[in-house]
Amino acid sequence: MKFIIDHTKRLTLEELQKFISDKDATVELSTASKKSISACRAYLDKKLKTNNGPIYGINTGFGSLCNVIVPDKDLEQLQENLVKSHACGMGEEVPEGIVKLMLYLKIQSLSYGKSGVQLETVEHLCDLINHKIYPVVYQQGSLGASGDLAPLAHLCLPILGLGKVNYKGSQLETRIVFEQKKLSSVKLKSKEGLALLNGTQFMSAYGIYCLLKSHNLNKAGDFITALSIDAFDARIDPFKDHLHTIRAHAGQLQTAQTIRKHLIGSEITAKAKEQVQDPYSFRCVPQVHGATKDAVNYVTNVFETEINSVTDNPTIFEDEDEILSGGNFHGQPLALALDFLCIAMAELGSISERRTYLLISGQRGLPPFLTPNPGLNSGFMIPQYTAASIVSQSKQLCTPASVDSIVSSNGQEDHVSMGANAATKCYQVVNNTEKVLSIELLNAAQALEFRRPLKSSPKIEEMMDAYRKVVFVMRHDEVVHELMHASQLFVKKYFNEV
């Protein structure tokens, strides 16, 4: 599918979900965006011919070197030097799907015609997506202001014919791939290197990935919880609507309603209960899951604003005849939101692990560790250990990154967001939560077998039919990792489709 990048239309999470899900996706700039980019570049070229004073990053050095004037003859070399000198990433590689998002979001930001880049430069970024040439980018190196300098330098090295790329499953020098594809490199003009490197596309791409997965995991969390409610023979009373209308947080109301819908027609839910009250991990699901939903919705609003913004510096305003040096690259809005998302998704995993613990505890007619022959068999004893370990790691990762700042660039950049660190740890926590929920699903599905011949709701039984095609009932001890892995793959696929 071809995706048209058009700065006159609002970019949404749904559009980006379609883009990253389409392995054959290509991109193209709209006619309006091409005109906007070209007009801005023409204005800048004209401005430089008549301007005698310093303009930051265009005829000056960068950061604390902002007062060093660079001669006109060196302006193009200045921009190439910037990209090469700032490619200082370390650590693990950024996953290919997130690199693909970074490219899209960088093109989107440049499409507004406020950055002074050549149309040719932006179209070269489009070429990388269209030929499935993904730059090698590293996770460490960005302070989240002045934007994501180091990762964006690695992202943009290939359009200069430099750096390394991932292409058809191999990591290769860019020049080798360009020779194969008969692609040429770009000669950067004034301002362009700075426009490519200043921006929040590393933080934004990670954030978009985390949000897309978080929305799915919220859906999965409610569905798996509904299964656990029947598996543990818990009460439906805490999910009745009138209990929540008197404390009407949107996420709480939505969660209670969703759980009730999932359990309509359940024979297990309908039968009389011996216990008067359930533990918090069942009784307080609307309040806990609901708070996570509210947090995810807040963060979604922050990121949808960001991906429809210009985040480089300086910014060119043709109509006002001004080139303004400001701070739209500063990642503080994203850093705070990513820390919030990290905490919210960790809590979704934390309460899930507690339900798993109860399911294996030998209560309410369930055998210890959900095995027909406990003692000889350990059953599902150790998956709960694994879930607890993962939950503990997520809690440790929830220490906010956004409260930190370290002075850089000889004091010129004296307050930074650390949003990139917030992004990479949020990515890890979201993936951790997926694992913990898939462990709960494994346990709840096993526990449900001990409620037979009673049936859960038609919706739950439909899911169980699909689940049992990939994860069997464990009658005696097996290599449980295989079942856990299959359960995680099921969560990835099933709740992306329902």
Contact criterion met (CB below 8 Å) for 165 and 136: yes
Question: What's the maximum distance between 2 C-alpha atoms anywhere in the chain?
Answer: 87
Q: Is 272 left (phi over 0), alpha (psi -120 to 50) or beta?
A: beta
Report the alpha-carbon distance of residue 118 to residue 159 in Å, rounded. 13
Helices 13-21 and 285-306, interaxial angle, to 10°? 90
**Hey, what are 198's tokens?**
């200043």
- Pairing status of strand 2-5 against strand 26-29: parallel
Which residue in 491, 421, 489, 498 sits closest to 207, CA to CA?
421
State the Cα torsion 263-264-268-269 to the nearest 10°: 80
Catalytic residue among 56, 104, 112, 427: 56
For residue 386, the tally of other CB atoms under 10 A from its CB is 17
Report the alpha-carbon distance of residue 351 to residue 358 in Å, rounded. 11
**Hey, what are 135's tokens?**
């730059």
- Pairing status of strand 90-93 against strand 138-140: antiparallel
Say whether 112 is catalytic: no
Q: Which residues lie across from 315 on neighbouring strands? A: 324
Residue 304 vs residues 19, 33, 376: alpha-carbon distances, Å: 15, 19, 54
**Hey, what are 238's tokens?**
């805490």
Which residue in 204, 54, 184, 166 sits closest to 127, CA to CA?
184
Q: Which residues lie across from 28 on neighbouring strands? A: 4
Q: Is the peptide bond before 333 cis (omega within 30 degrees of 0)?
A: no
Which residue in 423, 422, 441, 449 sits closest to 349, CA to CA?
441
Instruction: Enumerate the active-site residues.
Output: 56
